[in-house]
Structure 1
Amino acid sequence: MTAGSRTLPLSFIRREPIPPAPAPALVSGPLAWARANLFSSPGNAALTLLAVLIIALVVPPLLRFLVLDAVFTGENRDACRPEVVGRPVGACWAFIANKINYFVYGSYPIEERWRANVFFAMAAIGVGWLLWLDAPRRDLGALYFFVVFPLAAYALLAGLPLAGLPTVPTSLWGGMLVTIVVSIVGIVASLPLGILLALGRRSRLPVVRLVCVIFIEFWRGVPLITVLFMANVMLPLFLPGDISVDRLLRPLVGVALFSAAYMAEVVRGGLQAIPRGQTEGANSLGLTYWQGMRLVILPQALRIVIPGIVNSFIALFKDTTLVSIVGIFDFVRTIESARIDPNWAAPTVVTTGYAFAALFYFVFCFGMSRYALFVERRLAAGQKR
């Protein structure tokens, strides 16, 4: 139909009903999640089926060894010997239960082990205070964990005769106690020292920048095992004959310096990711260099590199096993020492000891990893649009 030179649209009325549309695909629920994450493509589907096959092959034997055929009670090797109990024997958890105090405290005097328990409690309070994002006065928590706690822990564990605490030589420390001590010292020392090294490497002062670069590159270019040997064997050679360094203190210093060098590079990556406009904005507000770093730049940089920081902490926690090479009785060394006890000469004792060690390290490292993911999501919530 036309009106003059214009063409008028024709109206159309459907007389037949529209057939019903198919049900929409699931957008939520377990099936939708599996379709999106496990079977989104032929390659992902193949990898999913392969993972299921590996789980089916690995998990049942592990479950049978660790739980179903395991022995949980007993006083000696007879409890874990198949020819004695008359059935297949899996993990010998009775051995772990019998030696658990040695695994936790090493040769620390029994009557003084309450001091180690207080140390564990103080460490838990400090860690919990810092990790609880909504905790009151977290600034005091940082002061407690980085200043008060190290001093109090040293007085507790090593002894303070003036306070009635007899001296306990570090040669008697061992087990989880040493592992946690080395880890905490490395973490407490590496983070602030690493931040200072990162700032020094970006400094405009040539001498400060050169010193920091040499320090970082030297420690990052040497394996940790070499650092421990140098700290344990060579450090006393550079000191006067009447000065001796505690045998545990030597690897503690080496681990702290080694970890600080790696932490410096992680923090420097975060500083480089901050736009220059943030520094200019801090300057425009009249903030000094250190005020701008503390209030504007460092909070953003550290948020960016949370995965790298946590990865360094996890690597440090696992690397504490290397101190056993220089004669320190850490957790793994106590297991190696306990497994040769003739009273527990059973076929599965060795495997059980290392399975217990693997479980210990997995729990701590997995916990750190999951907490890092939680913090990332929490801090990233304000960045989403």
Structure 2
Amino acid sequence: MNPKNLAYVRTEMLGPEPAPLSTKTISGWIRTNLLATPKDTALTVIAAALLLWTVPGMLEWLFFDAVWSGSDRSVCTTIVQGGIQPDGWKGACWAFVGDRFQQFMFGRYPIDERWRPMLVAILFVALLVPMLIPKVPRKGLNALLFFVVFPIVAFFLLHGNIFGLREVETPLWGGLMVTLILSFVGIAVSLPVGILLALGRRSNMPVIRMFCVGFIEIIRGVPLISVLFMANVMLPLFLPTGWTIDNFLRALVGVAIFASAYMAEVIRGGLQAIPKGQSEGADSLGLSYWQKMRLVILPQAVKLVIPGIVNTFIGLFKDTSLVSIIGMFDLLGIVRLNFTDTTWITPVTPITGLIFAGFIFWLFCFGMSRYSAFMERHLDTSHTR
């Protein structure tokens, strides 16, 4: 063949093309994501107008005109001759939050004993962080310390009356401390109990199946307030004469029972999503029922319903504020209790306190949501990340 006829054959590979403009510059990203079509452009303009109309005023009220220090309500009001000027209210009264911050965290826990809940918080973080990091080894030991040893140590530290510690009764507990304790116990109890209820609802044994179905449907059919009232009022009726149960323990039982019923349905959804062949394959290997569930079915089912599990946890964390109905004061309850304090009564005090409480709730809920997304990516084996 004549070599001249092969002149069109490429002797070198083409070099890589530059990345599209939209992945390199801000203007390209804006054109692609915000101004791609006339409809996108119109929505972007409307959203920008709303932000320009609302955000400056919010920032001014929350930060620039806010009062950050002070000892009473006078710092959050404008005083004129003859009294308080009706239209002279300043911005947010963060001085109120700063003055009552420790109470918002610990409730009426004695001031000279607050090192104990602080120590419990340090132990909680020290055990939780390695538990949440997948690469940290010895997860079994960590789980044993976190879910078994830590609650016992935390109880004796917080309650006292042992090893020379002063007794602090639970009616003095409050604030964020109560919110975290209720949430931790509810989450730690609801997941294993929910798994057992979900397995029981799918059981072939009629008695177990009917019991689990009845428990789940009854608890899910009533609001949490009713469960808390029943735990607070009816639970002592089932005890022998002369016995009593602490109100805080009653709230813990009510919250755990309520969360377990909802968690059971989330887990059951994951179990139903597992193909029947997985169970048949485990049976063909000679695995027992519990081996099959522990090694084959449950790991896949739990991975599928991580968003639902975390959603239940977030709902439980927010629902702990309902314990104020039975005379306990969590973070939101203790904030609202301080609205009646004559030292800080102003029109801006309630909204400031509620914004603070809302931010704390959002911070924890957002953290759980982000960790859920991280675990979904970490456990994703579909090669479609």
Indicate the TM-score class for this superposition, using the shorter chain for normalisation.
0.7 to 0.9
Match of 2:13 in 1: none
Q: CA deviation at 1:46?
A: 3.9
Match of 1:6 in 2: none
Q: CA deviation at 1:238?
A: 3.7
Contact between 1:69 and 1:88, CA under 8 Å: does it hold in 2?
Answer: no
Match of 1:97 in 2: 98
Would you say 1:321 and 2:316 are equivalent positions? no
Q: CA deviation at 1:129?
A: 2.2
**Range moving further from structure 2, 105-114 or 276-285:** 276-285
TM-score (norm 2): 0.88
For 1:259 and 1:176, the matched residues in 2 are separated by: 20
- Superposed, 1:209-248 pairs within 5 Å as 209-248=209-248
For 2:27 and 2:373, the matched residues in 1 are separated by: 25
Match of 2:192 in 1: 192
Structure 1 residue runs without a partner (length 5+): 1-12, 14-22
For 1:160 and 1:285, the matched residues in 2 are separated by: 54
CA-atom RMSD in angstroms = 2.3
For 2:325 and 2:300, the matched residues in 1 are separated by: 39
Match of 1:62 in 2: 58
- Superposed, 1:7-22 pairs within 5 Å as none
Contact between 2:76 and 2:89, CA under 8 Å: does it hold in 1?
Answer: no
Task: Name the aligned partner's letter for residue 266 of structure 2.
Answer: V
Q: CA deviation at 1:49?
A: 3.4
Contact between 2:335 and 2:354, CA under 8 Å: does it hold in 1?
Answer: yes
**Range moving further from structure 2, 293-302 or 337-346:** 337-346
For 1:37 and 1:280, the matched residues in 2 are separated by: 48
Match of 1:302 in 2: 302
Identity rate of aligned residues, in percent?
53
Task: Name the aligned partner's letter for residue 197 of structure 2.
Answer: L
Match of 1:20 in 2: none
Contact between 1:130 and 1:141, CA under 8 Å: does it hold in 2?
Answer: yes
Contact between 1:81 and 1:347, CA under 8 Å: does it hold in 2?
Answer: no
Match of 1:28 in 2: 23
Could you tell me which of 47, 65, 74 is aligned with 2:70?
Answer: 74
For 2:106 and 2:232, the matched residues in 1 are separated by: 22
For residues 183-236 of structure 1, what are the alpha-carbon distances to aligned partners after superposition, in whole Å with 9 as ceiling and x for unaligned?
111101101110111111111111111111111111111111111111122322
For 2:207 and 2:29, the matched residues in 1 are separated by: 56
- Superposed, 1:41-190 pairs within 5 Å as 41-83=37-79, 89-161=90-162, 163-190=163-190
After TM superposition, what 4+ stretches of structure 1 lie above 6 angstroms from structure 2?
A: 84-87
Match of 1:261 in 2: 261
Q: CA deviation at 1:160?
A: 4.3
For 1:375 and 1:280, the matched residues in 2 are separated by: 28
For 2:120 and 2:225, the matched residues in 1 are separated by: 28
For 1:36 and 1:231, the matched residues in 2 are separated by: 56
Structure 2 residue runs without a partner (length 5+): 1-7, 9-17
